[in-house]
Amino acid sequence: MAINVQTAIEIISNLTLDLNFEIIPIENASGRISAEEIFATSFLPKFDNSAMDGYAIIYEDKDNELNVIDTIFAGDNNNKLLEKNTCIKIMTGAKMPNNSTAIIPKEDIEELNDNKIRILKNVKESQHIRYIGEDIKLNELLINIGDEINFSKITLLASQGISHIKVYQKPKVVVFASGEELKLHYEKIESFQIYNSNTPTFISRAKELGCEVVFMGQAKDTIEDIKNLVNNSLNADLIITSGGVSVGDADFTKEAFYELGFETLFDGINVKPGKPTVFGKINNTYILNLPGNPLASALIFEMFGKILIQKLLGEKNIYPNYILGKIKDSFFTKKGKTTLIPGFFDGEYFEVSQKRSPGMVSVLNSCNSMICIDNEVEKLEKDSLIKILPINWKFFSDIKKDFLTHE
């Protein structure tokens, strides 16, 4: 019996997984998921230091002529203290004299005779001082289990002298094709035959999402051949395949799965397109059997397959997020099923794709997002606020726009 969208998401998000890990250099960790908590091993800054090239002073002496008694460069371990009406020339990043309470930028002073200076501008106490720990506190949690490592987290690790990190291993995904009436893209075809576009789609998308992907080939239309491919794939975390072009083919694949002990987690989702989606497992290998129609299978994968892969990656962020925008034109739909609608979001308006037949292959090439319409909705009014789910999300445009925020 088909289940609703929220139940399908709940089943996937509640899976209990035993993930393996590895330890890798931080330079290789971009895009990987942390398998450990990492705490700061030192304060940052490690000591009070100057944020400017200038002069370290005692704040109370700001209105007096000051004698320059020393110079401190970045990296110096200079412990000299200030006396009344003295200052020390200091460079950006250099350790502050312990009793100094302000930095005067060099452009805000006048040099006098006899190595003296006078301050030309108003001074605030503690100005231009970077204090110990104001950026990072000792033992502060920097990275949590399930965080994705990116350039900014690598910055944190390097700042603490951490060279290696424990991350979850990339999930192994196996993809195979079924249905001999479809030909793989490197095969010769006749004028009455068509290419299988689903399999390369699953392979490339799973790679984009951070998986190690293996292609097992095309199954012949026999239960034994499908079983052979499945048995050969049970060392993977996930098998992705799609149904054939007929009901008989789909039942054929299911029968092979069930003969191998397939445990059904759900069989059908009350969504359009893509109702005939099957999810389950054989031993410790999950199997996602998507619809045969290309657009339907791609949208279902974006809606549910990505959540599953987030789980297998070890990500803590697994639930679909959205951006609020407005629909460009009024849109009509039928009540009864949750509906996935592809389109293009330009940063303000979502334009529904005019092409969206489940069997089409060209639709997502011109789309970067989709909306998921509740089963009770019949009409979305022009300019109404909608929740937009990203698909292809490097957020750039071919139109130059004013991206500055104005009053």
Q: Which of 47-56, 192-201, 212-221 has the lowest mean pLDDT?
A: 192-201
Average pLDDT, the chain: 91
Higher pLDDT, 228 or 219: 228
pLDDT tens profile 127-141: 999 999 999 999 999
pLDDT tens profile 86-134: 999 999 999 999 999 999 999 999 999 889 999 999 999 999 999 999 9
> What percentage of the chain has pLDDT greater than the value 90?
78
Query: Residue 249 above 70 pLDDT?
Result: no
Mean pLDDT of 345-367: 92
Predicted pLDDT of residue 189: 75
Q: Which of 148-162, 203-217, 387-401 has the lowest mean pLDDT?
A: 387-401
pLDDT tens profile 40-62: 999 999 999 999 999 999 999 99
Higher pLDDT, 195 or 397: 195
Mean pLDDT of 346-350: 93
How far is 37 from 143, CA to CA, in rounded Å? Answer: 6
Mean pLDDT of 247-269: 83
> What percentage of the chain has pLDDT greater than the value 70?
95
Query: Residue 244 above 60 pLDDT?
Result: no
Query: Residue 14 above 90 pLDDT?
Result: yes
- The pairing of strands 116-119 and 109-112 is antiparallel
Query: Residue 80 above 70 pLDDT?
Result: yes
Predicted pLDDT of residue 403: 62
